[in-house]
């Protein structure tokens, strides 16, 4: 069976689905759900989010140039969806979803305490692309929940059961099937190891 050819479109799935918290700097905070988010640079650490200009939070982003990316989990799936379909101009999403505001270190926007990882971001550039504006931002700090760290202080995001988004659906990430570089890693010679022990 072959592949069908469709017109150009956004088919780069699955995507990380994140809750982005913002503020207007005057006491009004909001959360938007963003599926179009990604890493764009290592040094300096940078990421991007794409937001429609008509979204309630867009003006906050433009005014303050700051936001926090909060990673989502299976436990946060319901709140994530709610924050994507309800508008902050009509309701307080923090209150509705019983999400806890946590003070960030470098930006005014609050972090979501229930998220396993929160990334404080400052906008460096905004590109007006069409249906969406692309916010290119530097990551000023990363906050990782200690409850997902082992005794050696290694962080295990998989313990938090993160979710992804694909074609209108939230999906669990599943089991680990390999690690970076495992395809070229040399396998240990079991016989040699045994000889060394004897």
CATH number where 160 lies = 2.30.110.10
Tally of structural domains, the chain: 1
Mean pLDDT to the nearest integer, 19-37 = 95
Flag whether pLDDT at 51 surpasses 80: yes
Q: How many residues does the chain have?
A: 198
At 185 the pLDDT is 87
- Give domain status of residue 77, yes or no: yes
pTM: predicted TM-score of the whole model, two decimal places: 0.90
- Give domain status of residue 157, yes or no: yes
Confidence of residue 108 (pLDDT cuts 50, 70, 90): very high
Flag whether pLDDT at 180 surpasses 70: yes
Mean pLDDT to the nearest integer, 90-111 = 97
- Give domain status of residue 133, yes or no: yes
Range of the domain at 110: 15-197
Q: Which of 11-15, 113-117, 139-143, 193-197 has the lowest mean pLDDT?
A: 193-197
Flag whether pLDDT at 97 surpasses 90: yes
Mean pLDDT to the nearest integer, 138-151 = 97
- Give domain status of residue 3, yes or no: no
- Give domain status of residue 2, yes or no: no
At 196 the pLDDT is 57
- Give domain status of residue 10, yes or no: no
- Give domain status of residue 7, yes or no: no
Nearest to 104 by CA among 21, 166, 168: 21
Confidence of residue 11 (pLDDT cuts 50, 70, 90): confident
Flag whether pLDDT at 139 surpasses 70: yes
Tokens encoding 102: 């946590």
- Give domain status of residue 165, yes or no: yes
Flag whether pLDDT at 198 surpasses 70: no
At 118 the pLDDT is 98
Comparing 196 with 153, the larger pLDDT belongs to 153
């Amino acid at each position: 069976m072959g592949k069908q050819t469709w017109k150009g479109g956004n088919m780069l799935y699955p995507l990380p689905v994140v809750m982005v918290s913002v503020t207007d700097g005057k006491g009004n905070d909001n959360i938007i759900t963003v599926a179009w988010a990604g890493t764009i640079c290592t040094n300096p650490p940078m990421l991007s989010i794409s937001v429609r200009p008509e979204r309630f939070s867009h003006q906050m982003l433009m005014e303050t140039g700051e936001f926090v990316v909060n990673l989502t989990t299976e436990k946060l799936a319901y709140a994530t969806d709610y924050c994507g379909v309800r508008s902050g101009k009509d309701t307080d999403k923090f209150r509705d979803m019983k999400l806890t505001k946590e003070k960030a270190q470098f930006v005014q926007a609050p972090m979501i305490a229930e998220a396993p990882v929160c990334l404080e971001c400052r906008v460096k550039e905004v590109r007006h692309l069409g249906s969406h504006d692309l916010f290119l931002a530097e990551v000023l700090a990363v906050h990782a929940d200690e409850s997902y760290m082992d005794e050696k202080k290694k962080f295990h995001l998989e313990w938090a059961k993160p979710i992804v988004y694909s074609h209108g659906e939230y999906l669990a990430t599943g089991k680990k099937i390999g690690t970076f570089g495992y395809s070229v890693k040399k396998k240990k010679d079991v016989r040699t190891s045994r000889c060394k022990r004897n």
